[in-house]
Homo-oligomer: A and B are copies of this chain.
């Protein structure tokens, strides 16, 4: 080499902590979504995120903390946006639930995501009995979900949109559980048709909650 050009130190150390942290979070979400929490690898997480091990451990104190952050900061907001906001303040809760349900099952079938199931449900099944931190976080999300559906049904009863003999708590419990079951079934069968069938039956069930005219 003739002329020794001073290597411009690109060295994109970057110092954009929020962005770095979020890259890690998203990579961890994907890793745990695919391989589960126990099967997920921290080494793969930081490689996929394109950061170093040091950066990961700077932002998260360990695998557990990373998992908790995924629940709190990724899965929670996702749940809120997908399933809770659509029924919030809806005039006809049954219609709103069916709408959200049809929309997202369709989306997940088309994108192929359905074979990996619901991220929240996956973590719930794997980690709830093993780790209290996960258990309380996950149960908190489900409880909130049930609470809002219960409210929506109760206010639907008041406005004559839902049959008065329906007990909102029980129905909400079944709706949420059924949803988990449908996603779980679809995942284990890897069968779109089956998902559609179960979704139709769920819509039939929802319709059965309407007042007999």
Cβ–Cβ < 8 Å partners of A185 in chain B: 142, 173, 176-177, 180
Size category of the A interface is: 35 or more
Q: Determine if A198 and B184 form an interchain contact, defined as CB atoms under 8 angstroms apart.
A: no
Interface residue stretch chosen among A10-18, A87-95, A125-133: A125-133
Q: Determine if B124 and A126 form an interchain contact, defined as CB atoms under 8 angstroms apart.
A: no
Q: Which of A117, A126, A167, A179 has the most CB of B within 10 A?
A: A126
Q: Determine if A184 and B180 form an interchain contact, defined as CB atoms under 8 angstroms apart.
A: yes
Q: Determine if B184 and A174 form an interchain contact, defined as CB atoms under 8 angstroms apart.
A: no
Residue A85 interfacial (CB < 8 Å): no
Q: Determine if B122 and A201 form an interchain contact, defined as CB atoms under 8 angstroms apart.
A: no
Residue A155 interfacial (CB < 8 Å): no
Q: Determine if A117 and B142 form an interchain contact, defined as CB atoms under 8 angstroms apart.
A: no
Chain A binding surface SS class: helix
Q: Which parts of A142-195 form the interface with B (CB within 8 Å)?
A: 142-143, 167, 169-171, 173-174, 176-182, 184-185, 187-191, 194
Q: Which of B116, B130, B143, B198 contacts A174 (CB 8 A)?
A: B198
Count identical subunits in the complex: 4
Docked CA distance A15–B76 (Å): 42
Q: Determine if A187 and B143 form an interchain contact, defined as CB atoms under 8 angstroms apart.
A: no
Q: Which of B39, B167, B201 contacts A173 (CB 8 A)?
A: B201
Q: Determine if A128 and B187 form an interchain contact, defined as CB atoms under 8 angstroms apart.
A: yes
Interface residue stretch chosen among A21-29, A44-52, A100-108, A202-210: A202-210
Docked CA distance A125–B182 (Å): 12
Residue A36 interfacial (CB < 8 Å): yes
Docked CA distance A36–B179 (Å): 22
A136 to B, closest residue via Cβ: B190
A sample of 21 cross-chain residue pairs with beta-carbon separation below 8 angstroms, ordered by A number, consists of A34-B130, A36-B126, A39-B39, A115-B129, A121-B125, A125-B126, A125-B184, A126-B126, A129-B187, A138-B188, A142-B185, A142-B189, A167-B200, A170-B201, A174-B182, A174-B201, A174-B202, A177-B181, A177-B182, A179-B181, A205-B208
